[in-house]
Amino acid sequence: MRRRRKSDHPVSHDRWLISYADFITLLFALFVVMFAASQTDKSKMAAIQESYIRAVQRGAVMEGRSVVARILGGTVDEKGIGNAMLRGPGGTKKDPTPALPPIPAELLPPMNALTEKLAKEIADGKLQVSLGARGLVISFRQTALFKSGDDQVQTDAIEVFKPIAEVLQPLPNHIVVEGHTDSVPIHNSRFRSNWELSAARSIAVMDMLITKFNIDRKRVAILGYGENQANGDNESEEGRAKNRRVDLVIQNLGIEAADLTAAVNASGGPTVRH
């Protein structure tokens, strides 16, 4: 009977350690790549944020969009929209978000004039004057214009509109009167809801501007928001007081009437009346 030759090399039972070590090495490399990719994304997002802050401070929104497109890659068309901004995960198309118009520099002198003329009322907390992308906003507290639950402009409040009318009359801008209330329901013989009250107050201010201060009626529109555009917390009296207001918006010339109508329809209820 033929004997088997013994092997010169001993049998190793630890060869699986080699494959295991290779697997661990590959897994480590994968985590390194993933970490590096995440750090790159963070740096891109930081660059985007910084660029947008600079763009908004200069009022150059479209420039900000171009910077984003350059960071993310892709071409930029004549509207400042890059290919990268139109693609989501997996290359699916996404609708570009419309940019707000820049803050209107032409309304800065009227804002300074109103701030000076209405300094006492501002100091007393009766109103605020601010300038934003949609235009110059004069925000009246309800107590400065109306009694609670009423839509008749108080006599002493009419005097406040004299310096406002002096600033408004030479301007070409459209004016939107916006009525707002708190969330406390109203239901009396005159008003069935906060929407009706807010719209009635807007109409009262609009009529006053047209009849007493000769503002061209073609320039004026009204909105009644009710409690749907709150500035404060309706759970506290202080917050509800902030919400009971009438905003007089001297509109940015860059915002067309169609844009205003679209914004109103998207908000789910308030109507525009000219």
Residue 115 has pLDDT above 50, yes or no: yes
**Contact residues for 187 (Cβ-Cβ < 8 A; gap 6+):** 193
* Tally of CB atoms within 10 A around 91: 7
What phi and psi, each to the nearest 5 degrees, are found at residue 256? -85, 165
Domain ranges of the chain: 16-91, 105-273
CATH assignment of 105-273, among 3.40.630.10, 3.50.50.60, 1.10.3470.10, 3.30.1330.60 = 3.30.1330.60
pLDDT band at 264, cuts 50/70/90?
very low
Phi-psi group of 37: left, alpha or beta (phi > 0 → left; psi -120 to 50 → alpha; rest → beta): alpha
CA angle 162/165/167 to nearest 5° reads: 115
CA angle 98/173/99 to nearest 5° reads: 10
Provide mean pLDDT across the span 149-177. Answer: 92
Q: What is the pLDDT of residues 178-231, one digit of tens each?
A: 999 988 888 778 888 999 999 999 999 999 999 999 999 999 999 999 999 888
Q: What is the pLDDT of residues 26-65, one digit of tens each?
A: 888 777 777 776 655 555 556 655 655 555 445 444 444 4
